A and B are shown apart, each in its own frame.
Chain A
Amino acid sequence: MKGKLILADGTTFRGQLFGGSNATTEGEVVFNTGMTGYQEILTDPSYCRQIVTLTYPLIGNYGTAKIFNQSRKSFVGGLIIGELCEKPSSSSMQKTLAEFLTAEKIPCLYDVDTRALTKKIRSAGTMKGVIVSEYTSQGTINEMMALPVRKNVVEMVTTPVMYTLDARADALNIVTMDFGIKKNILDALRKLNCRVTVVPAKTPAEAILAQKPDGVFLSNGPGDPKDVPDIIREVQKLIGKLPIFGICLGHQLLALAMGANTYKLKFGHHGCNQPVKNLENGKVAITSQNHNYAVDAKSLENLPLKVTHVSLNDGTVAGIRHTSLPISSVQFHPEAAPGPNDTVRLFDEFIDNMKGSREIGK
């Protein structure tokens, strides 16, 4: 049936509403320009409650398969696409995208001019939007539009209970603070023979240290890092105690814990083609990114942190490192899925840091 997206400034984009008149939704509208990886995007908890626009116009071509899920379920608020492929083709396919959307109860507006919408957000910035049917009353639309953007998104996506992914007895022991972790990060760590214990976002530092980990990993996740001051306090307590590595939200929380500042970007970085320059060796890598906030470079002055990576597109901070401690973090996603694997070696660095600390500990 006919549906539409209405943005906070009143701009309307028309399309077809998948799932009928009940499939309405509201949330912050963001876009991702990646040309593959829609399932990974839909199951990335960092998009929690957001309405994700996929700029590439043909979506669903290869269906979906369980192995590509990045979390236990999809947390997105809604999906906006061009063509929703009716007859996908792939030997690995288990469900079509339409079946997946139905099963995951993801509202979807398709047949949309996604390029026009992308350009709109690029120029006007990320904003609230509602997806409604053509026949939804203005009153309902107003009510939906008035709903505040959810702040407790990390709580919604984090694991409710601690769990451990086992490995050999002598393996490095990593505690991962789950702010909305992607499965591929866990896979990457396990590939490096680590024992990974995943703990809920609000686990106190003491409880983490009680696990006697070799290092702590701060995961990616949704939302404004400043919305979770209690987590920042716990991270603060970990600094200086052991090697820490953070990705995305984890990187921002680490920066805040160290006394730096973060700010909201106009329309964020969401895509698989983001160039990042490694200032330590001058090389550029193409990365997968998905964030609306960034660490303020100026706020790093006078802190024992140096910028290791910058975004080549806009010069924003893309990676930091502690000047003396084995602590570092990056804004991008070295674990890929979706996107390039160019920076996957950053996990090795984390491993080396932990091994180094173990040596000292002995």
Chain B
Amino acid sequence: MPKKKNLNKIIVIGSGPIVIGQAAEFDYAGSQACRSLKEEGLEVVLVNSNPATIMTDANIADRVYIEPLTVDFLTAIIEKERPDGLLATLGGQAGLNLAVQLAESGALEKYNVELLGTSIEAIKKAEDRELFKELMERIGEPIPESTIVEDIHGAIDFAREIGYPLIVRPAYTLGGTGGGIANNEEELVEITLRGLKYSMIGQVLIERSIAGWKEIEYEVMRDGNDTCITICSMENFDPVGVHTGDSIVVAPTQTLNDHEAQLLRSASLKIIRALEIEGGCNIQFALDPNSDNYYVIEVNPRVSRSSALASKATGYPIAKVSVKIAIGYTLDEIVNAVTQTTRACFEPSVDYIVVKFPRWPFDKFVYADTTLGTQMKATGEVMSLDRSFEGAILKAVRSLEIGVNRLHMPKMEEWSDDKVKSRLSKINDERLFLIAEALRRNLVTTEEVADITKIDRWFIDKIKNITDMEVKLKKGELKAQTLRDAKTLGFADKSISELTGVDVKEIRAMRKQYKILPVYKMVDTCAGEFEAMTPYYYSTYRGEVDEVEVSNNRKIIVLGSGPIRIGQGVEFDYCSVHSVWALREAGIEAIIINNNPETVSTDFDISDKLYFEPLTTEDVLNIVDKEKPDGVIVQFGGQTAINLAASLAEAGVKIFGTSVDNIDRAEDRERFDEMLTELNIPRPRGISVTNLDDAITGAAKIGYPVMVRPSYVLGGRAMEIVYNEEELRDYMSRAVKVTPDHPVLVDRYMQGTEVEVDAISDGVDVVIPGIMEHVERAGVHSGDSIAVYPPQTLPSKIIYTITDYTKRLALALNVKGLLNIQYVVADGRVYVIEVNPRSSRTVPFLSKVTNIKMVNVATRAALGKTLKEMGYYSGLIEPKPYVAVKAPVFSFAKMQDVDISLGPEMKSTGEVMGIDYHYARALYKAITGAGIIIPKNGCILFTVADKDKEEMKQLAKAFSELGFKLVATEGTAKALQSIGINAEVVGKVHQRSTDIIQMIKLGKIHMVVNTQAPGKHVAKDGFRIRRATVELGVPCFTSLDTAWEVMRVLTFMRDRRLVYSLAIQDYVGGGDALS
């Protein structure tokens, strides 16, 4: 069957901003989808609010709408574009939900748009609890028995019917509190009663507990002709109970025999057939480790995080094939992109083991609950491949960038045996390391660990192999054979160095002397059975034959940015990909090294060669030794890549772009200060201290409030504003470990307007594509601020100064490529806060709105082309006539115990963009795109810190004038009264019937403005209020600046149409504005 004849134009829905549970994997899937559709000659319209993605690049789709993903906007775009088909299954849950809403609203029918791929009915069957249950019962596939009860008798009756253990989950509570696992009737009564009390609707869900069973996943595909195949099986290291996104996962399954594997495979095919899915689908099972019993846990009727992983794990392009199926091809008509000779209709066979390891944000959210359960908490993940589990898990661990290079956390060394042993039953982000620690100390046998954790003993024995090798290494002199054994097991040189005391460089030399070198193997979907074209490789010390064909071409390695984490998101993958493209355009062989399975950069057809490897000095140098490239580019892979620059240069590797010495000058506090003094560019007064006393004297001199932070950080980790000596003392003892090697920076905190600039330099000229002004004043991390291009309030004199400083800084640092500078403007003066001699979070945003391919230009500049040759001249490029607003998006709903209050620590996980000819509408789009639903009227609660009371008065007045009813806490209300505004006074938290939390719960408050008093020990109440707004989806603004802008939007939008959409191509007018 050929492709559907009626299709000419297709609209693709992206997944929107990165949030926990929906990350870069959908940029990968969406980009692949668009490219795949264009390949078929179809016109592609893309809608996605996330500017940090490759998929929203103007060259990925014919028409790109960076607009909010809401029914209103989508309907308007559909009305305008009149597509023939809609593809939503590659946009994650967000895309799928939107498709369902569009179908239900009648928009698809009205404009005669065919929903491609899986039907609405199928989506509902998979997602509606009751429909799914019915379907599974009909086809005889077991799902865990469950019931909803409203009293204790119902619970007991159910338990008598099916037995224990049971999971009790109260329906609709704040933060999922009140649930638990009941092992007997006594516990059931206790938990159910508690749950009924906590549930806001008095309901409790009771389900058979299968915690501790093996969790197995299958990626399945089906075409319109009912041909079904499985792409990949995956086994969770962590048994059922931990969200698969928070589990360590291996592929293929390791502990299932063929009988078990086929049992679940057959069930998968049965399910995808029953659901009549056309495309990809993910099915999760729980398998009893002691019998053939299994349950179907979940079905995702779309491309998912797991399918991105399965794609990267096998080389099979699931997203691409899903798209071809959606437009009418059958699997046997689609060519296998890897072999180019066989068909997409086969099941990949792999000849390695894949490990996926989640990356959690607990380093940023130090107060967050690290317990892992059914709510996913990871922001990103890494993947690794090797020919042994030990090798793969060790690669994964060192890819995480959590300061660990083996299964060893230094802090656990100080823990007592009892502490280590007793913690084994805790399920959190450190469990793997704790197991290793317990085995290392011989506190437990592998059987005991398996018994306590329910993790299959196969995995535990492998961990034991690793700790046994550590013991071997610690004994005596390092012999060649021991070194070989350790490398074969997957140990990093650095780990061997730690354990033997031999210098890491000496180990490297020794390895070369004894020819203990990795070989590189290809990922080819077929375990070597057919000849393959994929330039996709991984290293192993378990092999004789290297498969990489090294060319004689001019070639350059681009270092990727590793796992998605707070502070280093998909933006850096965007930059890496563009750098690769720029190199290829220039006729240079582009090689990428990265370890993130969710990204576009790790698609095998992006670069000339992809090495799926950890980003450590050793792993990169091994590839350098192999490929002998002209050099390495480090400025696009975020701090991950920059951090490797010095050690690579020291090993003799050429770094293209800004020199290592100049990178250091920007990052080293003292050298940076020297440079600023020479240039006569001001910065907020500050000092670098290495002990508490110096900090106290220094801060007194500078004057409070001061901003304190450890040096060399990304994303403002452990940065705080402290208002007095007491707080400073507390910070120094709690937040940082201050040593001569790790100084702490103390800066004057300037409450001004923050401005951010990205520039490109070739060392002679400096092009500034644009300046962005932040809505929130300095003190809120730049990544959490709303950024506006072009600036709306800055006088031209200030713009001139910023342009001038930017040029001089770029030239002083002899920047060859990108540079990001943050300024604060206070009292009419411009101060430099920080300079990053690399690409930044705002580069994709700015590239899109200015239509300047910044990374492309920067890459060519790094290679030695001059800006003049490329047609660019020094200076600030004239601002565009439209306004673009970048707004942060948070994942607070996923992270309990995290304070949503904004500060110098970055908390957002993603971003959206709003673009329009009117500033207010651009802002409206950004806020709407960020998922904040601003009420047009209703009740607004003010509860602000004393320091903000004065400033708040006018804001409250303005809202009042817009018709909002004001409520306030006592002190705030009093302040309002002073200017003659009456606000209803609400009781403090705990005054049960009328307290704020109750009012929020009851839907009586529609918006909250809350600022936090200075200091960290305050306002548990404030914290509870803020959390309540998160749980109930009430907009809450913790910066008065944001609230002001919201007020302005409301004023502006009163009498203007809300929905107005143009494609990015319309805004930028097609080609490069400068060429």
Binding site for B on A (CB under 8 A): 13-14, 31, 33-37, 39-40, 55-58, 61-62, 65, 68, 82-83, 85-92, 111, 113-116, 118-119, 122-123, 271-275, 277, 282-286, 312-313, 336-342
- A118 to nearest B CB, angstroms? 4
**Complex contact B387–A286 (CB within 8 A):** no
**Complex contact B290–A91 (CB within 8 A):** yes
Q: Apart from A33-B528, A57-B387, A339-B258, what 6 extra A-B contacts exist at CB < 8 Å?
A: A36-B253, A55-B527, A115-B351, A119-B528, A283-B226, A286-B230
**Complex contact B388–A83 (CB within 8 A):** yes
Report the Cα distance A89→B461, complex, angstroms. 9
Residues of B within 8 A of A91 (CB): 289-291
Residues of A within 8 A of B542 (CB): 57, 82-83, 111, 113
**Complex contact B331–A273 (CB within 8 A):** no
Q: Does B265 contact A (CB under 8 A)?
A: yes
Q: Does B589 contact A (CB under 8 A)?
A: no
**Complex contact B530–A122 (CB within 8 A):** yes
- B530 to nearest A CB, angstroms? 7
**Complex contact B545–A312 (CB within 8 A):** no
Q: Which residue of B lies closest to A344 (CB)?
A: B266
Binding site for A on B (CB under 8 A): 225-227, 229-230, 252-259, 261-262, 265-266, 269, 289-291, 330-332, 342-343, 345-353, 387-389, 446, 450, 456-458, 461, 519, 521, 526-531, 542-545, 547
Choice from A118, A119, A338 contacting B258 with Cβ under 8 Å: A338
Residues of A within 8 A of B351 (CB): 33, 55-57, 114-115, 118
Report the Cα distance A339→B259, complex, angstroms. 8
Residues of A within 8 A of B254 (CB): 58, 61
Residues of B within 8 A of A62 (CB): 255-257, 458
Known: A57-B353, A58-B388. A312 touches B544 (CB 8 A): no
Residues of B within 8 A of A61 (CB): 254-255, 458
**Complex contact A36–B258 (CB within 8 A):** yes
Known: A58-B353, A113-B544, A275-B332. A313 touches B346 (CB 8 A): yes
- B258 to nearest A CB, angstroms? 4
**Complex contact B346–A312 (CB within 8 A):** yes
Q: Which 8 A-B pairs have the closest CB atoms?
A: A37-B258, A116-B545, A273-B347, A33-B527, A89-B458, A118-B528, A338-B258, A36-B258
Choice from A122, A274, A337 contacting B346 with Cβ under 8 Å: A274
Residues of A within 8 A of B526 (CB): 33, 273
Can you report 10 A-B residue pairs in the complex whose CB atoms are below 8 A from each other?
Answer: A31-B528, A39-B257, A56-B351, A57-B352, A89-B458, A113-B543, A285-B227, A286-B347, A313-B346, A336-B262
Residues of A within 8 A of B255 (CB): 61-62, 89-90
Choice from A58, A273, A274 contacting B348 with Cβ under 8 Å: A273
- A60 to nearest B CB, angstroms? 10
Report the Cα distance A92→B288, complex, angstroms. 12
A31, A56, A68, A86 pick with most chain B CB within 10 angstroms = A56
- A272 to nearest B CB, angstroms? 8
Report the Cα distance A277→B353, complex, angstroms. 30
**Complex contact B349–A55 (CB within 8 A):** yes
Residues of B within 8 A of A39 (CB): 257-258
Residues of B within 8 A of A277 (CB): 332
Q: Which residue of A lies closest to B350 (CB)?
A: A35
**Complex contact A275–B346 (CB within 8 A):** yes
**Complex contact B345–A312 (CB within 8 A):** yes
**Complex contact B349–A33 (CB within 8 A):** yes
Report the Cα distance A35→B253, complex, angstroms. 9
**Complex contact A286–B346 (CB within 8 A):** yes
Choice from B252, B253, B544 contacting A13 with Cβ under 8 Å: B544
**Complex contact B387–A283 (CB within 8 A):** no
**Complex contact A115–B290 (CB within 8 A):** no
**Complex contact B266–A341 (CB within 8 A):** yes
Report the Cα distance A33→B342, complex, angstroms. 16
Residues of A within 8 A of B389 (CB): 58
B261, B290, B331, B531 pick with most chain A CB within 10 angstroms = B261
Choice from A13, A114, A282, A340 contacting B262 with Cβ under 8 Å: A340
Q: Which residue of A lies closest to B253 (CB)?
A: A36
Report the Cα distance A300→B976, complex, angstroms. 95
**Complex contact B461–A116 (CB within 8 A):** no
Report the Cα distance A123→B528, complex, angstroms. 10
Q: Which residue of A lies closest to B265 (CB)?
A: A340
Residues of B within 8 A of A33 (CB): 349, 351, 526-529
Residues of B within 8 A of A113 (CB): 519, 542-545
Report the Cα distance A35→B257, complex, angstroms. 10
Known: A58-B353, A62-B256, A286-B347. A312 touches B342 (CB 8 A): yes
Report the Cα distance A13→B227, complex, angstroms. 40
Residues of B within 8 A of A282 (CB): 225, 330
Residues of B within 8 A of A114 (CB): 351
Choice from A65, A83, A89, A272 contacting B457 with Cβ under 8 Å: A89
**Complex contact A68–B350 (CB within 8 A):** no
Report the Cα distance A318→B253, complex, angstroms. 29
Q: Which residue of B lies closest to A62 (CB)?
A: B257
Report the Cα distance A183→B521, complex, angstroms. 37
Residues of B within 8 A of A37 (CB): 257-258
Report the Cα distance A272→B258, complex, angstroms. 10
Residues of A within 8 A of B521 (CB): 115
Known: A115-B527, A119-B528. A36 touches B349 (CB 8 A): no
Report the Cα distance A91→B226, complex, angstroms. 35
Q: Which residue of B lies closest to A38 (CB)?
A: B258
- A268 to nearest B CB, angstroms? 10
Residues of B within 8 A of A36 (CB): 252-253, 256-258, 261
Q: Which residue of A lies closest to B269 (CB)?
A: A342
Residues of A within 8 A of B456 (CB): 89
Residues of B within 8 A of A89 (CB): 255, 450, 456-458, 461
**Complex contact B528–A115 (CB within 8 A):** yes
Residues of B within 8 A of A111 (CB): 542
- B1070 to nearest A CB, angstroms? 44
Report the Cα distance A82→B290, complex, angstroms. 28
Report the Cα distance A342→B222, complex, angstroms. 14
- A66 to nearest B CB, angstroms? 13
Report the Cα distance A267→B678, complex, angstroms. 72
Q: Which residue of B lies closest to A120 (CB)?
A: B545
Residues of A within 8 A of B519 (CB): 113
- B520 to nearest A CB, angstroms? 11
Residues of B within 8 A of A40 (CB): 258
Q: Which residue of B lies closest to A277 (CB)?
A: B332
- B533 to nearest A CB, angstroms? 14
Q: Which residue of B lies closest to A40 (CB)?
A: B258
**Complex contact B227–A283 (CB within 8 A):** yes
**Complex contact A340–B266 (CB within 8 A):** yes
Report the Cα distance A46→B264, complex, angstroms. 27
Q: Which residue of A lies closest to B387 (CB)?
A: A57
Report the Cα distance A33→B527, complex, angstroms. 6
- A9 to nearest B CB, angstroms? 15
B229, B256, B349 pick with most chain A CB within 10 angstroms = B349
Q: Which residue of B lies closest to A114 (CB)?
A: B351
Residues of A within 8 A of B259 (CB): 68, 337
Report the Cα distance A17→B897, complex, angstroms. 56
**Complex contact B229–A271 (CB within 8 A):** no
- A22 to nearest B CB, angstroms? 25
- A275 to nearest B CB, angstroms? 4
Known: A36-B258, A61-B458. A56 touches B543 (CB 8 A): no
**Complex contact A35–B349 (CB within 8 A):** yes
Report the Cα distance A299→B994, complex, angstroms. 89
- B524 to nearest A CB, angstroms? 9
Q: Which residue of A lies closest to B347 (CB)?
A: A273
**Complex contact A57–B388 (CB within 8 A):** yes
**Complex contact A122–B387 (CB within 8 A):** no
